[in-house]
Amino acid sequence: MKAVILVGGLGTRLRPLTYNTPKSLVPVLNKPFLEHVLLKLKQHGVGEIVLALSHLAPLIEECFGDGRRLGLDISYVTEKSAMGTAGAVKNAAEMVSDTFFVLNGDIFSDLDLSAMLRFHKQHRAKVTIALTPVDDPTRYGLIETDGYQRVTRFLEKPRPEEVTTNLINAGTYLMEPDVLGKIPALEEHSFERQLFPSMLKAGDAVFAFPSSGYWIDIGNPEKYKQLNFDLLSGKGGQYGFNRGDQIALGHGSHIHPTARLKGPLMVGDNCTIGKDVIITGPTIIGPDCRIEAGATISDSILWQKVTIGGGCSFISSIAARGCRLEESSQAHGAVLGDNVTVSQGYVLKPGESVEPGVTKG
> Using CB under 6 A as the criterion, which residues of the chain lie in contact with ligand GTP when the complex forms?
6-14, 23, 52-54, 79, 82-85, 88, 104-106, 219
Smallest distance, Å, CB 62 to ligand GTP? 17
The closest residue (CB) to ligand GTP is: 9
Residues near 202 by beta carbon (within 8 Å), at least 6 away in sequence: none
How far is the C-alpha of 255 from the C-alpha of 272, rounded, in Å?
A: 6
Which 3 state secondary structure label does DSSP give 324? strand
Q: How far apart are the first and last CA of the chain?
A: 53
Give the C-alpha distances (Å, rounded to integers) separating 207 from 45, 130, 158, 182, 203.
22, 9, 20, 17, 11
Minimum CB distance to ligand GTP smaller for 55 or for 360: 55
Strands 167-175 and 127-133: antiparallel
**Using an 8 Å Cβ cutoff, are 96 and 77 in contact?**
no
Which residues touch 163 (CB under 8 Å, ≥6 apart)? 137, 138, 142
Which residues share a beta bridge with 353? 335
Distance CA 285, CA 262 (A): 13
Q: Which residue, 88 or 306, has its beta carbon nearer to ligand GTP?
A: 88
Separation CA 38–CA 207 (nearest Å): 25
Complex with ligand GTP: residue 170 or 342, whichever CB lies closer: 170
CB nearer to ligand GTP: pick between 191 and 209? 191
User: Would you name the residues annotated as active-site residues?
Assistant: 157
Closest among 59, 50, 53, 51 to 21, alpha carbons compared: 59
Measured from the CB of residue 74, what is the shortest distance to ligand GTP in angstroms? 15
Minimal distance in Å, beta carbon 145 to ligand GTP?
22
β-strand 278-280 against 296-298: which pairing, if any?
A: parallel
Q: What is the largest CA-CA distance in the chain?
A: 69
| Closer Cβ to ligand GTP, 11 or 309, answer by number | 11
| Minimum distance, C-beta of residue 183 to ligand GTP, in the bound complex (Å) | 13
Q: Smallest gap, in angstroms, from Cβ of residue 224 to ligand GTP?
A: 11
Strands 341-342 and 324-325, sheet pairing: parallel
CB of 306 to ligand GTP, least distance (A): 24
Q: Which is nearer to ligand GTP, 104 or 132 (CB)?
A: 104
